Amino acid sequence: MAADGISRIHAPAKLNLNLRVTGRRDDGYHLLDSVVVFTGFGDWIKLEPAQEDSVAVTGDFASSVGAGEDNICFRALAAFRDHGGVAGGHSITIDKRIPVGAGLGGGSSDAAVILRYLNRTSPAPLADRRLAEAALSLGADVPVCLAGIAQRMQGIGDMLTPVDPVPHGHLVLARADAMLPTAEVFRSLRESGSGDAAPLRSSEISGSVADIVAAGNDLQAAAMSLSPDIALVLDRLRDGNGVIAAQMSGSGSACFGLFDNGDDAATAAETLARDGIWAVATRF
């Protein structure tokens, strides 16, 4: 925290290097198996003490996100207190750089950094288990974002195992011109008649990055049926020099290209951006 009491925190984009849908519970929640990493690109959160809680949103994707009590960061403040945490009022400003509804976990990452900050600064911090429960109450991706390092994520997002060795690489994030609600993508998957997938193999968890990505994303075909632009973005990524693989992240519509080096990734991102496709080069 700075001397003026204002804290500025990075909320990294979440990336699913692969994703399997291994089943569905009786309550309708799907069971997943996925290797998740975090990128150098993300939102920025500014927090400062205040008489009462408030949330404002600025940045490239501000218009796609609700402010005030509708925002997940506002709910993160409430969840922390509801689970026994002690925290005063906070004014939160989100510089929204991560596309919304794109499978990059922007809202989840924002909420997770709020929970971490509150727990670190609280006079009565929560135990790890209670903090994880607060995270899960906000959404399936919030627990893995709370962990903040590469994880194998299973179950409904509540079963986390650190990935060792931690995968690293250069990539381009690119977004198809669509905002896909996760529930619609899963409904499309069910309607396709796709069966439950087998869990990830060891090489698909801790092997080379290329092996991890090669395990695929079970939601990709379902998302493409809702937004054919995803296929176009993937084709454009595969056209880049030095590309190793291209795939969709999470439930879409964002995709990623894995590249040999940062220079090729930067060139590919610049080319896509010139053609009107949102794209950034980063690494994980």
From CA 112, how far away is CA 109, in angstroms rounded?
5
Q: Residue 253 pLDDT more than 90?
A: yes
Which residue stretches of 13-127 are H helix? 72-82, 106-121
The pLDDT of residue 5 is 83
Per-residue pLDDT tens for 46-99? 999 999 999 999 999 999 998 989 899 999 999 999 999 999 999 999 999 999
Residue 283, phi-psi category: left (phi > 0), alpha (psi -120 to 50), beta (remainder): beta
Q: Residue 2 pLDDT more than 60?
A: no
Q: Where is pLDDT greater, at 101 or 255?
A: 255
- The two most distant CA atoms of the chain are separated, in Å, by 57
The pLDDT of residue 112 is 98
Structure-block tokens of residue 137:
């109450």
- Structural domains in the chain plus CATH codes: 7-162 (3.30.230.10), 170-283 (3.30.70.890)
Average pLDDT value over all residues in the chain = 96
State the residue for tokens 């709910």. Answer: 75
Q: What is the rounded end-to-end Cα distance, in angstroms, of the chain? A: 26
Average pLDDT over residues 278-282: 98
Residues catalogued as catalytic: 14, 141
Q: What is the pTM of this model?
A: 0.94
The pLDDT of residue 164 is 96
Per-residue pLDDT tens for 6-36? 999 999 999 999 999 999 999 999 999 999 9
Percent of the chain with pLDDT over 70: 99
From CA 192, how far away is CA 188, in angstroms rounded?
6
Of residues 249, 245, 15, the one with CA closest to residue 151? 15
Tally: H helices and E strands in the chain: 10, 11
Percent of the chain with pLDDT over 90: 93
Per-residue pLDDT tens for 142-196? 999 999 999 999 999 999 999 999 999 999 999 998 888 999 999 999 999 988 9
Of residues 43, 35, 17, the one with CA closest to residue 113? 43
